Structure 1
Amino acid sequence: MNLKNLILTITFLLSCNLFSQNTYVFLGSYNRDKSAEAIQVYQLDTLNGKLTKFTSVNNVINPSYLTVSPNGKYVYACTDTKTPNAGSISSFEFNTENKSLTFLNSQQSGGENPVYVSVHKSGKWITNANYTEGSVSVFPILENGKIDSIAQNFQYMDGSTHKERQTRSHVHSAVFSPQYDYLFLPDLGADKIRCYAFDENQKKPLVETKNPFTKTDLEAGPRHFTFHPNQKYGYCIEEMAGQISVYKYENGVLNKIQRIATHPDKIKEGFESSDVHISPDGKFLYATNRGKENNITIFSIDENGLLKNIGYQSTLGKHPRVFAIDESGNFLVASNVQTGNVIVFKRDPKTGLLKKTGKEIKMQDVSCVQIKRI
């Protein structure tokens, strides 16, 4: 090996080591008991997939969904979920030097059973979706990371055709557009993907648009949503129908170009599709199925944004509610609620296929995983 190649190899190894030492995995849970660990944080070694316990926090109930601020200093969680007549959004300070996660404050979520939180790229706003009562709330974030009092709350009453599950609105996520100038709200109960313009400079940033929603197929049950890295396409996973709808995206408008099943044709019922993410290189899409399957469906993405099913991977547990892909694109981490285990998969960047690696983590009723390089 000549000197130039040796220097390049050393530089690459050093950068990989730096990457691995600063990647953290955040796990939320349905802990149901303040004395039990509610959120756990691990370091992810992005060379071998090993998870090492970093810190944890208790004294909160059911932090079912988490997100991390753009600067990595704060964690925000849906708390008091699945708790009658309750629902809150909580903030925590994450300190890598002290290895600590410290509770800062909570605000009422503006509806029962909050299930999703998103932070604006500016770090100045947080939005959340409330499932049971079908609503969205927006809060300013103070300079110290605490959540300020609610700025806006919109509630919806309309449902759809399923007599048991769609008697009213059930907003299941709140997802910013690639430029953070729109907010999309998949509504499982109404078979709609609602949309608002988002003006970060206004005291009430949610602004009604000419296209307030995109209608999905009946009894689809839209749940989670993600955008392609090229910002041209959006992908919505439909919990009830077990489908992914692909949309061409431009300036807050979604136009459907494909709908494809997340499960084999022989599976006609018993599935509950849950989460969807795209690899950082934009070549593959991954979607989780709960119920009978408990697997990850793997799709390739062509240059026109269309999907092709290329395989399935068991999550090696039951009820995979949320998963995440690390920023290097090397690893996918899945959380299984009913079996209380977290599995790290190595992702093949060429084929998109997954292979279990490292040691699995046990956490009772683990409900959410987020990964952040800090």
Structure 2
Amino acid sequence: MKKIYLILILFFICINTNAQDTYVFFGSFNHDKTSDGIYVYQLDTIRGTLSKTITVKGFLNPSFLTVSGKQVFVCTESKTPNAGSVCSFEFQPHNKSLIFINSQKSGGENPVYLSVHKNGKWLINGNYTQSSVSLYPISENGTINQMVQKFDFSEGSINTERQTRSHIHATVFSPNFDYIFTTDLGADKIRGFKFENDKSIPLQIAEQPFTKTTLGSGPRHFTFHPNGKFAYCVEELSGTVNAYKYEDGKLESIQRINTHSEKYKVNFESSDVHPSPDGRFLYVANRGEENNIAIFSILPDGKLKTIGYQSTLGKHPRTFAIDETGKFLIVTNVVTGNVFVFKRNSETGLLKRIGKSLKIKNVSCVQIKKY
């Protein structure tokens, strides 16, 4: 009897330990350095609830962040020329602290996306308004060193309101980290770069320098399937997602499908895209009139089949994230300033809200990391 009792105690200790080691990082369009701009919450992986652990002031409009090991990299958005920055923090889960390390100029107006190489030694940033891609070496202590490369773009496309010039909106490493793909909303292109990690100047325009998307589509965010053979690009202006076959730095379109139901004909504003960790489902956020998550099953050939829609229970879902277990999806609604946690059914792919809403004014982005 004592042995059974001991086993039960150990079991509940393990459950409690697992519930304490997953953290969720949020940014906010605070518009004022005296207001909180970065938030860190702890995710209870049993109940799906969030509890606040850290808030950080002193940074204007953290529009996007990414987590790499103990480092948290943040881009601060500004529409003032040359005022945007990329910042580095160290997260210490044992004492629940987020320590500022340093910052560098973003190399262009309005930085909106960051990615880190798997070795933790390179940071790549995309600037939206003053369209450019900038690359930085990272020291072992997480310091962002001075920019070593920058590529500027200018050409636009057919939408006279949104595409008068180039607008880089995402910078994504390939599955093997030997290429980088940048979505250009303004020029209707997915730009490709070869990445040679062992060189001091590692970024070169790829043999296939860009993949054209449908004119007026506005490619925004981009992601790879966990198997590395397929890629998916959400197109903001047309409310579509384009599925690609991927091999050795080259993309081949295999399908283009609406992210919205037939009920909606205009104002799509599709924003973010992520596959489930098991590679069975793809999720796409829609803003505009819909404010939902479109859910697709991923077929063996990489093509998509629409299976449903889930309201985000707020307005303007800019980003969302799925935890590494695939159990939870967390979505940010910028206009209503609320966050919701959804439990994901691993068999059907459908989502179910759990817990209460979390209020973060002008919440801009979210990332989940298990420590």
Using the TM superposition, give the Cα deviation of residue 361 of structure 1 relative to its aligned residue in structure 2, in angstroms. 1.1
Q: C-alpha distance in 2, partners of 1:152/1:89? A: 14
1:165 pairs with one of 162, 170, 175: 162
Q: Are positions 1:231 and 2:228 aligned together?
A: yes
Question: Corresponding residue for 1:97?
Answer: 94
Q: What is the RMSD of the two structures over their aligned residues, measured on CA atoms? A: 1.8
TM-score (norm 1): 0.95
Could you tell me whether the CA contact under 8 Å between 1:87 and 1:111 is conserved in 2?
yes
Q: C-alpha distance in 1, partners of 2:311/2:10? A: 36
Which residue type is aligned with residue 54 of structure 1? Answer: T
Which residue type is aligned with residue 317 of structure 1? Answer: G
Q: Are positions 1:310 and 2:312 aligned together?
A: no
Q: C-alpha distance in 2, partners of 1:20/1:119? A: 27
Are the structure 2 counterparts of residues 182 and 31 from structure 1 closer, same or farther at C-alpha, using a change threshold of 3 Å?
same
Alignment of 1:58-69 (within 5 A): 58-69=57-68
Q: Are positions 1:156 and 2:137 aligned together?
A: no
Alignment of 1:45-64 (within 5 A): 45-64=44-63
Could you tell me whether the CA contact under 8 Å between 1:23 and 1:44 is conserved in 2?
yes
Q: C-alpha distance in 1, partners of 2:150/2:339? A: 34
Unaligned runs of 5+ in 2: none
Could you tell me whether the CA contact under 8 Å between 2:222 and 2:231 is conserved in 1?
yes
Q: C-alpha distance in 1, partners of 2:95/2:136? A: 28
TM-score (norm 2): 0.96
Q: C-alpha distance in 2, partners of 1:11/1:236? A: 45
Using the TM superposition, give the Cα deviation of residue 87 of structure 1 relative to its aligned residue in structure 2, in angstroms. 1.0
Could you tell me whether the CA contact under 8 Å between 1:81 and 1:115 is conserved in 2?
no
Q: C-alpha distance in 2, partners of 1:173/1:79? A: 15
Q: Which moved more, 1:77-86 or 1:312-321?
A: 77-86
Using the TM superposition, give the Cα deviation of residue 210 of structure 1 relative to its aligned residue in structure 2, in angstroms. 1.2
Could you tell me whether the CA contact under 8 Å between 1:64 and 1:78 is conserved in 2?
yes
Unaligned runs of 5+ in 1: none
Q: Are positions 1:355 and 2:357 aligned together?
A: no
Could you tell me whether the CA contact under 8 Å between 1:335 and 1:366 is conserved in 2?
yes
Q: C-alpha distance in 2, partners of 1:305/1:16? A: 36
Could you tell me whether the CA contact under 8 Å between 1:64 and 1:81 is conserved in 2?
no
Which residue type is aligned with residue 233 of structure 2? Answer: C
Q: C-alpha distance in 2, partners of 1:30/1:356? A: 25
Q: Are positions 1:328 and 2:319 aligned together?
A: no
Q: C-alpha distance in 2, partners of 1:84/1:286? A: 34
Alignment of 1:67-106 (within 5 A): 67-69=66-68, 71=69, 73-106=70-103
Could you tell me whether the CA contact under 8 Å between 1:51 and 1:359 is conserved in 2?
no
Question: Corresponding residue for 2:171?
Answer: 174
Are the structure 2 counterparts of residues 212 and 16 from structure 1 closer, same or farther at C-alpha, using a change threshold of 3 Å?
farther
Q: C-alpha distance in 1, partners of 2:206/2:236? A: 26
Are the structure 2 counterparts of residues 329 and 14 from structure 1 closer, same or farther at C-alpha, using a change threshold of 3 Å?
farther
Q: C-alpha distance in 2, partners of 1:263/1:153? A: 36
Could you tell me whether the CA contact under 8 Å between 2:179 and 2:249 is conserved in 1?
yes
